[in-house]
């Protein structure tokens, strides 16, 4: 379990916002790129819908031909590179994302990694975060877990629940919570498998 759980995801929709300030309670961060990815996560119990937010600030003092221009929004580039199976993708001259990428990633797959944090929910279970970087599905098993652990070691992830914390906490669930399906989504799924008009 060390490092978290890696899972394969299929993109169902993406929404990209530019130059946006998010109002998260008293925390109001600003992002040059804010990408919301809707995807289906493959689990042992089947596919479940999930939403991932990938965001960052660009460094516009660098030309778009320089990878440094991505700033900490390199995580957005990593998403597109993982889905499109390409390397060193460049921004448009106006520091925007090519529209074609947004269409091309729908239906494509990528890997994500969820890791346990030291935040305890009211239920007594631990909160799980999604690692900010995703990877191509062709990545070797454990690739993202190793990146999580490296970021923990380097102090970039400060709330990681290590194995000792997990053991001491005696978390009742050993994995991240499965994404919830709404009643309508479950009904729609059932209707595609069974003719409910006969009931």
The pLDDT, as a whole number, for residue 80 is: 98
Q: Are 79 and 53 in contact (CB under 8 A)?
A: no
The pLDDT, as a whole number, for residue 25 is: 86
Whether 115 is covered by a domain: the verdict is yes
Whether 194 is covered by a domain: the verdict is no
Whether 198 is covered by a domain: the verdict is no
52-79 in b/e burial notation, b at 16+ Cβ within 10 A? bebbbebbeeeebeeeebbbebbbbbbb
The pLDDT, as a whole number, for residue 110 is: 97
Whether 177 is covered by a domain: the verdict is no
The pLDDT, as a whole number, for residue 171 is: 44
Per the structure, the complete domain to which residue 47 belongs is given by: 5-169
Whether 117 is covered by a domain: the verdict is yes
Whether 47 is covered by a domain: the verdict is yes
Whole-angstrom Cα Rg for the chain: 19
What are 174's two structure tokens? 């050993």
The pLDDT, as a whole number, for residue 192 is: 45
The pLDDT, as a whole number, for residue 193 is: 45
The pLDDT, as a whole number, for residue 169 is: 73
Whether 146 is covered by a domain: the verdict is yes
Q: Which among 15, 60, 58 is positioned nearest to 37, based on CA atoms? A: 15
Structural domain tally of the chain?
1
Whether 180 is covered by a domain: the verdict is no
Question: What are the helix and strand counts (H, E) for the chain?
Answer: 5, 5
The pLDDT, as a whole number, for residue 8 is: 96
* Alpha carbon of residue 21 to chain centroid: 20
The CA-to-CA distance between both ends of the chain, in Å, stands at 44
The pLDDT, as a whole number, for residue 145 is: 94
DSSP summary character for residue 89: -
Q: Which helix (H) or strand (E) holds 176?
A: none
The pLDDT, as a whole number, for residue 182 is: 54
Give me the tens of pLDDT residue by residue for the chain, a chain 199 residues long: 578 899 999 999 999 999 999 998 888 999 999 999 999 999 888 899 999 999 999 999 999 999 999 999 999 999 999 999 999 999 999 999 999 999 999 999 999 999 999 888 888 888 899 999 999 999 999 999 999 999 999 999 999 988 888 877 764 554 555 555 555 555 554 454 444 444 4
Pairing of strands 46-56, 109-120: unpaired
The pLDDT, as a whole number, for residue 198 is: 44
């Amino acid at each position: 379990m060390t490092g978290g759980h890696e899972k394969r995801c299929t993109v169902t929709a993406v929404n990209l916002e530019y130059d946006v300030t998010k109002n998260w309670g008293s925390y109001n961060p600003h992002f040059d790129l804010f990408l919301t990815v809707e995807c289906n996560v493959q689990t042992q119990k089947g596919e479940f819908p999930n939403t991932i937010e990938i965001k960052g600030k660009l460094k516009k003092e660098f030309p778009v031909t320089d990878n440094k221009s991505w700033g900490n929004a390199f995580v957005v580039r990593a998403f597109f590179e993982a889905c499109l199976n390409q390397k060193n993708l460049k921004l448009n001259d106006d520091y925007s994302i090519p529209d074609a990428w947004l269409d091309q990633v729908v239906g494509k797959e990528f890997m994500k990694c969820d890791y346990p944090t030291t935040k305890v929910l009211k239920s007594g279970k631990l909160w799980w975060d999604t690692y900010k970087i995703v990877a191509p599905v062709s990545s070797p098993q454990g690739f993202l877990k190793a990146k999580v652990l490296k970021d923990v070691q380097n102090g970039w992830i400060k709330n990681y629940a290590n194995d000792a914390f997990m053991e001491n906490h005696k978390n009742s669930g050993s994995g991240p919570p499965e994404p919830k399906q709404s009643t309508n989504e479950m009904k729609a799924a059932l209707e595609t498998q069974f003719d409910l008009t006969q009931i």
